[in-house]
Structure 1
């Protein structure tokens, strides 16, 4: 007996990414000791997001044509610029009204400028690359090598005007690019290796998604309540619309822009790091961490669905039998 698992997943928008991600999140939320209980290879499935992503980088890099480097710089640079500009604009607006402290009471209690800027600034790189590996071009995946500059507290601190950051963590940035560059080099030197490695890209998607989901706690959404849910939706809408438009203006079809409209998991660590650099944000950091964690979960669910939906609309529709392509004129027999 055959069960059409793949066919079913393919019918769900972003199913190959979304279903394993939700499965991992459910297990982590209700059975958090599972990886430790089983250990060994089973435990590695829950905790291996980074190693899988590293291999994903190499294989995806091998499928990229080196001649497409200008496109990567243009695409990554434009998406990066949009995220940063939106973070700065929102920081200026909400900083003017809220200052450094969070809202103390009411429906928006816990909302702060720090939470808004940190949630908007940092794209979930693993999610973006996995979605582009399925719905985009290899060059679109490579664009994250530029966007990875968003990672960590650096740009959030700059946006908030926090002083005291001694140095930019360039080794981390270089380390995030090296696997992709290695793959590009291998693929450029040997076409057979390019064909061999590129086949592994779609295979790794569900495994990476499961490990990513295993790091999410659905209780965070419940703790943050409607505020966290609303913030997650706001990240997708507020950053997704300009990202979509810029992607279209730079020669894309908008899919890469929507795929970048998420909040990275490491963004939840940013508020406490910022507060350590400037204690004036200490009170805001407590609630901001919970709100941002909710944004990670919400955007990890919404972005794959929207990306898959938009990618489906971009596919050319098959022409009706007996007509000339692009017209309604019947073909001559």
Structure 2
């Protein structure tokens, strides 16, 4: 059976399906972790330790070295991405309030969805339509991974803040991973390979904390949220990409939600109980945004890249004719 090959055809499948399985089991058989106990019971509520290991492994893949162009491009796209998320979060906070849900939507879901770029999708699109230098920009953009910048954005939005110890704790696993990965390439290769393997396990743990009866409205809202990520962040990133010497393709390719962003609401709720009530719904919506952006972003990017190609061909023909 080609299970993985089949799942790989579906965007975000390694995050989505384990999460849905966990949520289904928790909704239909909520007593399962208590009944089995031991390792099985621990996996039901063990998403946070697995996430800590995941962010450490992710950190080992990040390099301190970057050419000036890569640093400029990556830094510009990174600041734009988190800046737009913070601004939208501030605006949304005026209507939704301190993490309260409105029609299944929360500031936590908005910021988590807009903050983090799907690195695999970005690299794939750059490999097909972009330049190698723009692909390298993700080495800087990947700093947005994890709950740290989401906490910063929520603080800027005027919502419940976080103690400095919690803020440091949120970024510490990734920072330690970065240090070790840059000190030893062998460690980077060893730990870096483990990051994708951990995704279905923490996804199941996150799903096992959800109840479909409470998040029934999140699906449609998540789809709309995904569209908003592509439209809003894509527009801003497109402009910044052009201003930093690009042709706009890199900006459009970065207008996605990363699969690991679905783990951010739970991490934020663990750091501040004020978000515990909305974390479950936010997780479902972020997961939906992952899928929507993974489908919509390549379509928009490919359309624009083909448009540029046709323009270049028209200019060549015009020059030859003259």
Normalised TM-score (structure 2): 0.67
Residues matched between the structures, number: 274
Contact between 2:182 and 2:188, CA under 8 Å: does it hold in 1? yes
Q: How does 1:309-328 map to 2 (within 5 A)?
A: 310=297
Question: What is the distance in 2 between the residues matched to 1:295 and 1:304?
Answer: 14
Aligned to 1:318: none
Question: What is the distance in 2 between the residues matched to 1:123 and 1:23?
Answer: 22
Question: What is the distance in 1 between the residues matched to 2:206 and 2:280?
Answer: 13
Question: What is the distance in 1 between the residues matched to 2:22 and 2:30?
Answer: 10
Question: What is the distance in 2 between the residues matched to 1:247 and 1:148?
Answer: 18
Task: Label 1:13 to 1:273 Cα distance change in 2 as closer, same or farther (>3 A).
Answer: closer
Following superposition, the deviation at residue 15 of structure 1 comes to: 1.4
SS in structure 2 at match of 1:50: helix
Contact between 1:152 and 1:270, CA under 8 Å: does it hold in 2? no
Task: Label 1:10 to 1:121 Cα distance change in 2 as closer, same or farther (>3 A).
Answer: closer
Work out which of the residue numbers 231, 234, 240 in structure 2 matches 1:244. Answer: 234
Work out which of the residue numbers 269, 287, 290 in structure 2 matches 1:303. Answer: 290
Aligned to 1:157: 158
SS in structure 2 at match of 1:259: coil
Contact between 2:219 and 2:288, CA under 8 Å: does it hold in 1? no
Following superposition, the deviation at residue 22 of structure 1 comes to: 1.0
Aligned to 1:265: 265
Contact between 2:108 and 2:282, CA under 8 Å: does it hold in 1? no
SS in structure 2 at match of 1:13: coil
Contact between 1:21 and 1:210, CA under 8 Å: does it hold in 2? yes
Question: What is the distance in 2 between the residues matched to 1:154 and 1:219?
Answer: 30
Question: What is the distance in 1 between the residues matched to 2:292 and 2:273?
Answer: 31
Following superposition, the deviation at residue 59 of structure 1 comes to: 1.3
Aligned to 2:17: 19
1:235 lines up with 2:235 in the alignment: no
Following superposition, the deviation at residue 149 of structure 1 comes to: 4.3
Aligned to 2:142: 141
Which ranges in structure 2 are unaligned for 5 or more consecutive residues? 124-137, 303-311, 314-322
Task: Label 1:179 to 1:293 Cα distance change in 2 as closer, same or farther (>3 A).
Answer: closer
Stretch of structure 1 that moved more, 64-73 or 51-60: 64-73
Largest Rg, 1 or 2: 1
